[in-house]
């Protein structure tokens, strides 16, 4: 899943760069700038918001550096409390991302992106899906903790 996210980000990076260069080439070489290029570049840039999905994978696989750092900064006797606290904070953050991403998607769906005529709402689903996955993965970690089946290890000290 991570490899697919990296591939999509690489494609979006290359597409954004190429779309950003087309107006320069069009203006100075062809003396005719394509009008749709700026909007397409903005759309591709926002596709890179797929990083939200990468963050969700980091939460799922317990490889998100900031989360692990928060858990290991306190004394060892507070480790269990910090694990629960970070999972609760992540669940709350994921819930907010999901809720407000969904509201943004619905709100912007009726507007069209000028020149390329696709809904503005297509820019925000990665935020919504990423938030839902972060919420889901954090809640699953909390359930595993409650049933004593949490196998996560914060082992980079």
Specify the pLDDT at position 10: 59
The predicted pLDDT at position 81 comes to: 84
Percent of the chain with pLDDT over 90: 23
Task: Tell me what pLDDT residue 30 has.
Answer: 73
b/e 4-43 (16+ beta carbons within 10 angstroms → b): ebeebbeebeebbeebeebeeeeeeeeeeeeeebbbbbeb
Overall pTM surpassing 0.85 (yes/no)? no
pLDDT band at 76 (very low <50, low <70, confident <90, very high): confident
Whole-number Å distance between alpha carbons of 50 and 138: 19
């Amino acid at each position: 899943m991570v490899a697919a996210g990296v591939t999509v980000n690489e494609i979006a990076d290359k597409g954004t760069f190429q779309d950003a260069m087309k107006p320069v080439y069009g203006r100075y070489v062809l003396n005719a700038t394509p009008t749709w290029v700026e909007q397409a570049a903005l759309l591709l840039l926002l596709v890179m918001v797929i990083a939200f999905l990468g963050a969700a994978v980091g939460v799922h696989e317990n490889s998100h550096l900031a989360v692990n750092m928060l858990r290991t900064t306190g004394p060892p006797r507070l480790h269990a409390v910090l694990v629960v606290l970070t999972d609760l904070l992540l669940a709350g953050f994921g819930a907010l991302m999901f809720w407000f991403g969904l509201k943004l998607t619905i709100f912007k769906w009726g507007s069209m992106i000028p020149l390329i005529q696709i809904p503005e709402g297509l820019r925000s689903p990665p935020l919504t899906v990423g938030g839902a996955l972060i919420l889901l993965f954090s809640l699953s970690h909390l359930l595993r903790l409650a049933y004593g089946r949490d196998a996560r290890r914060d082992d980079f000290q």
